[in-house]
Amino acid sequence: ISMVIKNVCCIGAGYVGGSSCSVLAWKCPDIHVHVVDVSHDTIKQWNSHNLPIYEPGLDEVVKECRGCNLFFSNDIDRAVREADMIFISVNTPTKTYGIGKGKAADLQYVEVCARKIAEVANGPKIVVEKSTVPIQAAQFITHILAANTKPGVSFQVLSNPEFLAEGTAIENLVNPDRVLIGGEESSGGESAMEELTWIYHHWIPQHNIITLSTWSSQLTKLASNAFLAQRVSSINAISAVCEAIGADVSQVADAVGRDSRIGSKFLHASVGFGGSCFEKDLLSLVYIAESLNLPEVARYWQHVNDINHYQRTRFGQRITASLFNTVTDKALAVFGFAFKKNTGDTRESPARCICSQLLEEGARINIYDPKVERQQIMNDLTSTKATSEPERIQKLIHIYTDPYQAVIDTHAIVILTEWDEFKSYDYKKMLSVMKKPAFLFDGRKIIDHEAVIKLGFNTHTIGKKFTPNTL
């Protein structure tokens, strides 16, 4: 017998939970959606005009649904009790301690949620695992729930990994390439999968909804992110060869991508990938492979991540080397701090690592990013993870809200995020207020290099060498 889902609750109001459930509420006016979080601040922001995350289109969706069928609160118990279906979207960071330190996904928050659900549930519930690193999570949740059933209470656990990319979350949620629903191969499992399929049917065609086993679903999420990361590392590895032999990585990427078996996406050479998923998922895959006694597999994926670190460090070193082997006391303007354009997120941003590298060398850096908050940048660069000398480093950082102010008296402009606005700046005007010789390091390959070389910038980019500027 199919029960109709009327009440959905989501534990965790972060990137994944907040945006996916907002779209769910928007597309399913017949479903009451309650998003809860332990953080009072986060919930306060979700209920304000200033949402805790920036995503193009999200404000409009939330504005339309909030108070109608979309609610944000800290009342986790009530939300769980009332819900027919519970999404778990809490954070699963890389473990920073104990077994699997630096690699394994930390499932402590997922476990807390499972125990909470077991404690307050008073009827049948479908529990849907949506967190970013779901491998094994569904098995753990099932185990905890099964050990805590009460009369009249039953649980089905599904895996429904989320593939949204930041900056395009709403677009990805509204029109996903595919939706994965993983579940148990039993009648209970199958009917739970049907319930979740019914929800997605509100806006997603059947042929884009894939039902599969829980393990396949969880592994698909890791594999997808690992493949995407691997493409970026592959083209970045080629970029180093291009610089050494005088080829142009953009030409190579374009030509390689024309092979329909390869495809053109995710072949943009850069300072390296960032974001909360790629590194974490790669490391998680490495850890799983090691745990399963598959060291060759572990090494393969580990190397994708190693290339990423190599790429960042290489770019930082190139900046120092080009500036006559020293950046000490030199002011440099840094454009972009977020890990990619159209987001204010700085998690694992290559900009953090490259700025830290330059700060360690004693450079003074003027940072401008259209979306990242001043405090976020300061915290990132002065945290104990970033430096052992926060006071010294703090004095070297200046944060600007106007890029034209940021470049005054600097020796170089360093582009670290691919924000569109960087393409249309008046670089002639910028050059006129900079120290000479002036340098431009484009770590994202987004501006017109021939044009800035003509203006007189000593220009450097990834995967291509220019003849030294004599102007």
Q: Annotated binding site for NAD(+), which residues? A: 12-17, 37, 90-94, 131-132, 166, 277-280, 347
Q: Which of 8, 9, 10, 14 binds ligand ADP (CB under 6 A)?
A: 14
User: Does 165 interact with ligand ADP (rule: CB under 6 A)?
Assistant: no
Q: Give least dist CB 446 to ligand ADP, A.
A: 26
Tokens of 341: 């354009």
- The 241-270 site mask, x for binding ligand UDX (CB under 6 A), equals -------------------------xxx-x
The whole-angstrom separation of Cα 160 and Cα 342 is 25
User: Does 277 interact with ligand UDX (rule: CB under 6 A)?
Assistant: yes
User: Does 275 interact with ligand ADP (rule: CB under 6 A)?
Assistant: no
Q: In this chain, which stretch among 156-164, 203-211, 242-250, 433-441 interacts with ligand UDX, using CB under 6 A? A: 156-164
Partner whose footprint covers residue 274, from ligand ADP, ligand UDX, none (CB < 5 to 8 Å by kind): ligand UDX
Beta carbons of 427 and 452 less than 8 angstroms apart: yes
Which CB sits closer to ligand UDX, 337 or 439?
337
Options 9, 10, 28, 277, the catalytic residue: 277
Q: In this chain, which stretch among 15-23, 216-224, 296-304, 412-420 interacts with ligand ADP, using CB under 6 A? A: 15-23
Residues 335-354 that bind ligand UDX (CB under 6 A): 339-340
User: Does 365 interact with ligand UDX (rule: CB under 6 A)?
Assistant: no
User: Does 127 interact with ligand ADP (rule: CB under 6 A)?
Assistant: no
The whole-angstrom separation of Cα 304 and Cα 229 is 7
> What is the strand order of the sheet 364-368 is part of?
397-400, 364-368, 331-335, 412-415, 439-442, 458-461
Partner whose footprint covers residue 277, from ligand ADP, ligand UDX, none (CB < 5 to 8 Å by kind): ligand UDX
User: Does 163 interact with ligand UDX (rule: CB under 6 A)?
Assistant: yes
Which CB sits closer to ligand ADP, 222 or 235?
222
Residues 6+ away with beta carbon under 8 Å from 306: none
Q: In this chain, which stretch among 203-211, 274-282, 354-362, 379-387 interacts with ligand UDX, using CB under 6 A? A: 274-282
Q: How many CB atoms lie within 10 A of CB 11?
A: 29
User: Does 13 interact with ligand ADP (rule: CB under 6 A)?
Assistant: yes
Active-site residue flag, 10: no
Which CB sits closer to ligand UDX, 84 or 279?
279
Q: How many CB atoms lie within 10 A of CB 253?
A: 24
The whole-angstrom separation of Cα 314 and Cα 368 is 22
The whole-angstrom separation of Cα 187 and Cα 352 is 49
Q: Give least dist CB 346 to ligand ADP, A.
A: 13
Q: Which of 22, 42, 284, 305 binds ligand ADP (CB under 6 A)?
A: 42
- CB crowding 158-174: b at 16 or more within 10 Å, else e: bbbbbbbebbbbbebbe
Q: Give least dist CB 288 to ligand UDX, A.
A: 18
Partner whose footprint covers residue 275, from ligand ADP, ligand UDX, none (CB < 5 to 8 Å by kind): ligand UDX
Residues of this chain that bind ligand UDX (CB under 6 A): 162-166, 225, 228, 232, 266-268, 270, 273-275, 277-278, 339-340
Residues annotated as catalytic (active site), given as ranges: 277
